[in-house]
């Protein structure tokens, strides 16, 4: 597998949608409603996945690296997080060990330890323990391919993912990218599109 300390597992988009898609959703024949709730809903993904599967969720931290001020393949979004930055990558795993998601987040280096008190826990659990009030601003929905994620999930792509920014007290706290495994079709029904939306 690609060394996660050197890069993150970016999707090669086949399609992507911005604020209008997030606001209005997609036709149900292109993306089933349960998948739309997962991708465009304002609830913690680990909380969603726990409710969906009935299993406790955890994270497997695979990288937490300083990246300075580099744009890290996403210059238009990462600019919201002041440099120098820390990049954190995790697998979102059920108690059974099944990988259900992949997440990468970018943090201002001097603030990351204030909010991730326990880096082995999901972000939402860290923030909930601090009673941190947050606003999740979903910026982009993607449908794309990644050989590294096919290997990591043990599932063929393409995959659905999203980018969002957590705001705290009106200021951006972290940029997060999540990608979900097609294994979730077991719980959510079919997710693949047959004709990509335009």
Per-residue confidence (pLDDT) for residue 116, from 0 to 100: 66
Residue 123 falls within a domain, yes or no?
A: yes
Q: What pLDDT does residue 118 have?
A: 57
The number of domains in the chain is 1
Examine residue 74 and state whether it is found in any structural domain, yes or no: no
178: preceding bond cis by omega (within 30 degrees): no
User: Coil, helix or strand for 108?
Assistant: strand
Which pLDDT band holds residue 110 (cuts at 50, 70, 90)?
Answer: confident
Residue 16, pLDDT score: 92
**pTM recorded for the entire structure:** 0.88
Contact 62, 90 (CB under 8 A): yes
Q: How far, in Å, are 9, 13, 55, 69, 121 from residue 84 at the CA level? A: 21, 27, 36, 5, 23
Dump strand ranges (E) for 18-56: none
CATH number at residue 145: 3.40.1410.10
Q: Which of 28-32, 71-75, 77-81, 180-184 has the lowest mean pLDDT?
A: 28-32
Which pLDDT tens digit goes with each residue over 26-41?
A: 888 888 899 999 999 8
pLDDT for residue 48: 85
In a domain, 72, yes or no: no
Q: Is 131 left (phi over 0), alpha (psi -120 to 50) or beta?
A: left
Q: Which residues are within 8 A (CB) of 168 and not within 5 positions of it... i.e. 6 or more apart?
A: 132, 133, 134, 135
Q: What does the pLDDT look like over 52-70, one tens digit per residue?
A: 899 998 889 999 899 999 9
Percentage of residues in the chain having pLDDT higher than 90: 55
C-alpha to C-alpha distance for 118 and 106, rounded to whole angstroms: 16
Residue 1 has pLDDT above 80, yes or no: no
Report the DSSP beta bridge partners of residue 176: 105, 164
Segment 174-187 shows an average pLDDT of 94
Range of the domain at 100: 14-67+80-188
């Amino acid at each position: 597998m690609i060394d996660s300390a050197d890069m993150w597992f970016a999707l090669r988009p086949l399609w992507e949608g911005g604020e209008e898609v997030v606001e209005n959703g997609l036709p149900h024949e292109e993306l089933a409603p349960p998948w739309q709730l997962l991708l465009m809903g304002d609830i913690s993904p680990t909380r969603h996945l726990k409710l969906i599967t009935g299993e406790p969720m955890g994270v497997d931290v695979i990288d937490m690296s300083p990246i300075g001020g580099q744009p890290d393949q996403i210059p238009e979004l990462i600019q919201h997080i002041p440099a120098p930055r820390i990049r954190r990558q995790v697998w979102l795993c059920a108690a059974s060990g099944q990988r259900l998601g992949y997440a990468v987040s970018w943090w201002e280096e001097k603030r990351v330890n204030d909010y991730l008190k326990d880096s082995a826990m999901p972000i939402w659990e860290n923030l909930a323990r601090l009673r941190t009030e947050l606003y999740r601003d979903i910026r982009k929905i993607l449908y794309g391919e990644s050989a590294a994620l096919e290997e990591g999930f043990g599932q063929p792509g393409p995959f659905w993912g999203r980018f969002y920014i957590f705001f705290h007290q009106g200021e951006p706290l972290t940029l997060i990218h999540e990608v979900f495994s097609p294994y979730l079709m077991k719980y959510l029904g079919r997710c693949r599109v047959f004709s990509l939306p335009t």
